Every structure is written in structure tokens, then in C-alpha cells.
Amino acid sequence: MTVEAMPSTPTRTVRILLVDDHPLIRSGLAQLIATEPGLQVCAEAEDAPSALDAARTHQPDIAIVDLSLPGASGLELLRQLRAAQPQLPVLILSMHDESLWAERTLRAGARGYIMKEQAPQDILAAIRHVLAGNVWLSPAISARILGRISGDQAVSPIERLTDREIEVYTLIGQGLTMRQIAEALHVSVKTAEAHREHIKQKLSVGSANDLVRHATLWSQALPDA
């Protein structure tokens, strides 16, 4: 008697939203993802508003988000995505120093953080890891977080800044005025100025002009991708 084989159940393709303001990076990442069976880029976005629209329209299974975006930062977009679609896992893919940003993005709701300089196979592994419901971090950052919890890891002055203070500090370094910063972060000028005062205290900076110089030097050292 011949036993007929049962038809196999087709594997569902995972839909991915890419958010990065550099078209070349989005293109390269899309090509990388296309090589992986079962993964598909369903939409791309270059800033927070278009990313939120794409997430609503295409209902992706995962979003891959850069921190450096025009207007609202990737960190702010992460918060907005978490509020709009709490079940959508977000993987941060950035050039920014993971020692400063990885833990902050996890607190904001990200499911992983990986540097753009990592090997392509590591990026694909991070995507799969997050899709499986796990958190992706480099071994160095995992050890750093554990060291901080145990009290063995020293904290630098810049790490003492809150997420919002980091955003204000970055925008100060980019040459924005307090009014422009307030508009960018959707807060009052008074609130932005209060953040500036807290930053001055935490970094032991005497005047607003000194803070601008410090922030400018720090901002110039940041990668732009």
C-alpha cells in the first residue's frame, strides 16, 4: 500500500520594516535580508513620521531602527512605536557607541542593539534572535550591564545623563537653540532649559557657553550614520 505524503505547511514570510535616513544603508540591508530565506523587507522609512505610517500600513513583524534620524531621534521613534504597537519587536542597528546607547534603548523597549560594523551574519542572527522572543546584545555589553548591577562597573559623567538629557545635549552640540530644541522634542522652552541646567550640573560645566563647546566637541565625535 502506498502512503501519500502529507502536503507541507508553507512557512510564513517574516515582514521587516527598515528605518534609516541613508538610502544606501537601507539598500544594502535590504539586499542582505533578501539572501535569508523567510525574511522580506515590507517597507522602508527615512524618519519617524514615515516609519509610524509604514508600521500602521504594513504591519511588520519586526522593525530595524537607526538612532540617527532627522527630526525625532530613533530613541523617540522607539517610544512611539512601543506606544502604538506594543507587540512589535524593535532591533536597534546603529553606529552609535553601544556602551552609551544599548542599555538606554532596552529601557525604552527595544529587543536588541547591534552595531552596523558587525558582520552581516551577525546582523541576520540578531534579527532571528529577536524574532524568537529573545534579547540581542553583544557579550561586552551584557558583561557591562551585569557589572553595573553588581556595582563593579564605574559610570562616566555622560552616562549619568537621562535619555532626555542626552537628546538635549546632542541637539545643543548640533547648534540648536533652546527654542529649537523644545520644538524638536515637543516640550516647553522652560523644560528644555531645565534639562540644560541638569546637564551642566552632572557634567560639572560652569556656563551655557562652556556647555555648548563641550556638546559641540562631543557631537562632532559621533558617527553620522
Tell me the per-residue pLDDT of 138-188, one tens digit each, with 9 for 90 and over. 888 887 777 666 655 556 788 888 888 988 988 898 888 999 989 888 889
Fold of 157-220: Arc Repressor Mutant, subunit A (1.10.10)
Tell me the per-residue pLDDT of 167-178, one tens digit each, with 9 for 90 and over. 898 889 888 899
Determine contact, residues 127/64, Cβ cutoff 8 Å: yes
What is the pLDDT confidence band of residue 135, given thresholds at 50, 70 and 90? very high
Domain spans, the chain: 14-148, 157-220
Does the structure show a pLDDT above 50 at 6?
A: no
Q: What is the percentage of the chain residues whose pLDDT exceeds 90?
A: 54
Backbone angles phi and psi of 95, in degrees to 5? -90, -15
- Helix-helix angle 98-108:139-150, to 10 degrees: 80
Amino acid identity of 90?
V
> Given the C-alpha cell 546632542, which residue does it identify?
170
Fold of 14-148: Rossmann fold (3.40.50)
Our CA angle for 189, 191, 194, nearest 5°, is: 110
Tell me the per-residue pLDDT of 27-85, one tens digit each, with 9 for 90 and over. 999 999 999 999 999 999 999 999 999 999 999 999 999 998 887 788 889 999 999 99
Phi-psi region of 49 (alpha: psi -120 to 50; beta: other; left: phi over 0): alpha
**Dihedral over Cα of 16, 17, 23, 29: its sign:** negative
Q: What is the pTM of this model?
A: 0.76
